[in-house]
A and B are shown apart, each in its own frame.
Chain A
Amino acid sequence: MTLSTLMPVFALLTSLLASVVIFALPERGYRLRTVINLAAAGLKIVLVGVMIWGVAQGREYEFAFNMVPSAEFVLRADALSMLFAGLSALLWLLTTIYAVGYLEDSPNRSRFFGFFSLCVASTMGIALAGNLFTFFLFYEMLTLSTYPLVVHRGTPKALRAGRNYLVYTLTGGAVLLLAIAWLHGLVGDLRFQEGGHFAGVDPSLHGPLTIIFVLLITGLGVKAALVPLHGWLPQAMVAPAPVSALLHAVAVVKAGAFGIIRVVFEVYGLEAAEAMGLLTGLALVAAFTIIYGSTRALYQIDLKRRLAFSTISQVAYIVLGLCLFGPLGVTGGLVHLVHQGIMKITLFFCAGNYAETLGVHRIDELDGAGKRMPGTSVAFTLGAFGMIGAPPLAGFITKWTMGSGALAVGMDWVVAVLVLSSLLNAAYFLPIVHRLWFAEQHQAWPHERRWGRLETSAWLLWPPLITAVLMVLAGILANVPFSPLSWVELIVAREAAL
């Protein structure tokens, strides 16, 4: 039980213990709860940072014990898991700060923060999972810990959204369990292994393996909100802003995408998946999702619903990136996992700010918001341009690498998809930017709240600004050693090396 085996467990425990302690806290223990929250988040970042540094040096962090006779519980920190773990650790700290400000005087916050840190613990678990069994374990825990957050407000609408969310995710979970069990039965307990397991598998297994792949993707697709399975995401927007920010920008949606990455990369292996012709189908679904998500986003009046549909299309980028089979395309897909997380969380923070400070939920009420809340609006504009893929921001890096990756592999229609979706992004983001800056405020804000000198409370203002700066840096300094792009190149290099 050397330190290197316990490190992943510590990372997991920080938020697990935090959630238990927070649950026990009485409702009015406000200050203590905030301190615990922030301390846990900070500690987690430190731990993940150490692991990232270690993995870069090639150290191996692994913790395993067999939980059920035939399957074992494995926590392993490899390059890919550090990508997702790093992202969620960082954004958890920011979202905690945001949530503390957002839920200033609302009821049952202990319950909220308890489930909040439980949810991040399961996200961390998903990132660190070493095999499909452990992955599934945390995947389902994520569903359970997010449901109370979605229905936190208790309004009938929230409850309906929660019910809908459950129907989707639990069914997805059941399908995923079926697939994992079948795979487990077929080939035994598979650890995630760079390069995947089925490179030289004998053709007789191709039939069942394809069906299992489809089931796996459907199960994971529910959370990754691929088109036919995305119904729950827009409705889950009824949740409070920090929930929709962390969950639908980082935790839940990315868990699905991350799962798909794990399956295609480290269970099947790219060559095997290509040999079995699985990637083209997946690419088509992803492309359709990208276009469908963007077009639906065009017609949304509510700001957060528009962002939700934009998330649906953006996450499909990651999946599309995977199917580009070449190293460049895959790098694009993976790096988008981080970039989209940062960009989307900025947008959700700003949407939350508008809702909390000005009581604005609809886009047409946003006129002149730029003047009233310049800080938030600058962050929103940067986020919007990032999503459109305008250079020099992070979105451009993704589109650029994916585009060149697609061309390298000869899938030219992918470039067309990228271009079309950028146009659609522009079509639904630029009008908002226009309303923010260039439209005059012609009617009073629905219910405005003043915070003295600052445009909104410091807790609410700083997170979007920080994430906006992060996004710009991720774009501009893409080639700096520990930037998302170079870390992904490290992953792909290790992946391809095998």
Chain B
Amino acid sequence: MTLGLMAGLLFTPLAWAVLTLLVDFRKGRVVTWLGMAVQMLVSLGLWAVVASDGGFLYLLGGWQAPLGIELRVDGLAVTFVLLTAVVAAACGWHASIYLDPDKAWHRYFWPLFWFLWAGLNAVWLGGDLFNLYVGLELISLAAVGLVALGGQADALRAAIRYLMAALLGSLAYLLGVALIYGQFGTLSLAGVTALLNSAEVPAGLSFALVLMLLGLALKTALFPMHGWLPPAHGIAKSPVSALLSALVVKASFYIAARLWLDLGGHLGSYALAQLIGALGGIAVIWGSWLAFRQVKLKQVVAYSSVAQIGYLFLLFPLTWGVSDAISLQAQQGITLQVISHALAKAAMFLSAGNLIMSVGSNRVDALAGVSRFLPFSLFSFGLAGVSLMGLPPTGGFAAKWLLLQASLASGQWWWLGVLLAGGLLSAAYVFRVYQASFIDDTDIDHFFHPSRSLEVIPMILALLSLGLGLMAEPVLSVMSLPFEAGRGQ
């Protein structure tokens, strides 16, 4: 049964990419809905399988680890696959209604969308270093394609800047892979970890890890290297920016986290961990401050992504040199943060899209009076904002709570400041938008009312992010399932 699921998971996105390439936008829309349903079912099935009897290794092409490529299907990976399924389905559904079918170039939206989805799945499940590189490339190029789709000069400039940053990041990562392959002779992550735990470790190799983390940080837009993200996510179409902010950025972080959890213990150092954590902290403060000052609504949400990404990098200091229990708690916290941020950010971008479409301008102060005539989208924007702020009962709060506990237990109390200040600052820019919409100067309803279903999707995502707070326990239970290597072929 698991084989069928795995094959389905790998096959469907690529097959649908090709299928949608051959048809135009309208027919592509119908095909995509079908594909989304299949993908959702497969992801759920896989999640259930892993939830019942633990993670397993999936050998592609039947070849054993060092020679062939293996896919590591453990709790964490499956949780991310399911998350991708949910968010991508929502964004796809929203895009199918939001995008104007008559434009000629929109026919190419669906193939790129499916390739992106395939790339994401490849990265979540990847167990082989070089395979991860190719997956990353797949995602980057698809994302750049989506950003540049039908765009004007600004969109293209953002796309190029994004492409350059992504490529440089990938190459840095590839350089690291080359060094590790040179040292260990194997490309499989599990193999390298086993070797590291058993044999003595040459000191020099930490440079390779630093390189890889640097590359991945550049692709995740960590603080000093976040220049490319706001224009790219800000200018792209709303469903695209939702996809980018919620999932694409997380892919490179996911790889960095896996590397850190497996190789960090031996190759990393306390100074490196604290440096990355510090960069994360600055990102939270600086991102929120810039988000507060943006004039355009989508730029606000984009900079908020930069800030929220800062939280993720707190994982590094909190899992280095601490007891397993604390490290597990930190991992759970970060997983929750990733999931709730993905859901909330997607909801925020989609509802921002709705608001912009109805108001006719993407400036924040043009939102006056929306609260009276278009409360539903605004309400989902608010709910998503609440989750970003990490206020109860949302998932953001559960994540923040776990991170607070982990940083307290590990004695690194200075992360408390970052966590709390981040919450407050994000409250600042969310409520600034809210305040702008509450101004009630016009009685006439001159707003364009988007179709009902466009407004429902962000609300569903926001409610999921809200519900996550209450349902944190089962989600986390699967994530931290012990990984039994080698079961199943």
Verify whether A and B have any Cβ pair under 8 Å.
Answer: yes
Which A residues contact B (CB, under 8 angstroms)?
23, 65-71, 73, 107-108, 111, 133, 136-138, 140-141, 143-144, 147, 151, 153-156, 159, 162-163, 166, 170-171, 173-175, 177-178, 181-182, 184-185
Which B432-486 residues sit within 8 Å CB-CB of chain A?
Answer: 434-435, 438-440, 469-470, 472-473, 476
By beta carbon, the residue of chain B nearest A71 is B401
By beta carbon, the residue of chain A nearest B336 is A68
Residues of B within 8 A of A136 (CB): 392
B401/A140 in contact, CB under 8 A? no
- Interchain nearest-CB distance for B134 vs A (Å): 36
Main secondary structure of the interface of B (DSSP, over half): helix
- Interchain nearest-CB distance for B49 vs A (Å): 23
Q: How far apart are the CA atoms of A108 and B373 in the complex, in Å? A: 9
List, sorted by A's number, 9 A–B pairs whose CB atoms are closer than 8 Å: A23-B379, A111-B375, A136-B392, A138-B392, A140-B391, A151-B438, A154-B438, A181-B404, A181-B405
Q: How far apart are the CA atoms of A138 and B409 in the complex, in Å? A: 25
A163/B473 in contact, CB under 8 A? no
Q: How far apart are the CA atoms of A153 and B470 in the complex, in Å? A: 33
CB of B329 within 8 Å of the partner chain: yes
CB of B332 within 8 Å of the partner chain: yes
By beta carbon, the residue of chain A nearest B376 is A23
- Which of the residues B393, B421, B435 comes within 8 Å of A141, measured between beta carbons? B393
CB of B109 within 8 Å of the partner chain: no
A163/B435 in contact, CB under 8 A? yes
Q: How far apart are the CA atoms of A162 and B424 in the complex, in Å? A: 15
Q: How far apart are the CA atoms of A166 and B393 in the complex, in Å? A: 18
- Which of the residues B393, B402, B404 comes within 8 Å of A177, measured between beta carbons? B404
Q: How far apart are the CA atoms of A137 and B473 in the complex, in Å? A: 16
A173/B438 in contact, CB under 8 A? no
Residues of A within 8 A of B420 (CB): 174-175, 177-178
- Interchain nearest-CB distance for A425 vs B (Å): 36
By beta carbon, the residue of chain B nearest A133 is B401
Q: How far apart are the CA atoms of A141 and B466 in the complex, in Å? A: 12
CB of B431 within 8 Å of the partner chain: yes
- Which of the residues B332, B427, B434 comes within 8 Å of A69, measured between beta carbons? B332
Residues of A within 8 A of B398 (CB): 67-68
A137/B416 in contact, CB under 8 A? no
Residues of B within 8 A of A151 (CB): 435, 438
B329/A69 in contact, CB under 8 A? yes
By beta carbon, the residue of chain A nearest B421 is A174
A68/B401 in contact, CB under 8 A? yes
The contact string, 1 if C-beta is below 8 Å from chain A, for chain B 321-346, is 00000000100100000000000000
Residues of B within 8 A of A163 (CB): 431, 435
Residues of A within 8 A of B423 (CB): 170, 174, 177
Q: How far apart are the CA atoms of A182 and B401 in the complex, in Å? A: 11
B405/A141 in contact, CB under 8 A? no
A107/B439 in contact, CB under 8 A? no
A108/B372 in contact, CB under 8 A? yes
B386/A144 in contact, CB under 8 A? yes
Residues of A within 8 A of B401 (CB): 68, 70-71, 133, 177, 181
- Which of the residues B408, B469, B470 comes within 8 Å of A181, measured between beta carbons? B408
Residues of A within 8 A of B421 (CB): 174
Residues of B within 8 A of A111 (CB): 371, 375
The contact string, 1 if C-beta is below 8 Å from chain A, for chain B 14-30, is 00000000000000000
- Interchain nearest-CB distance for A16 vs B (Å): 11
CB of B397 within 8 Å of the partner chain: yes
By beta carbon, the residue of chain A nearest B441 is A154
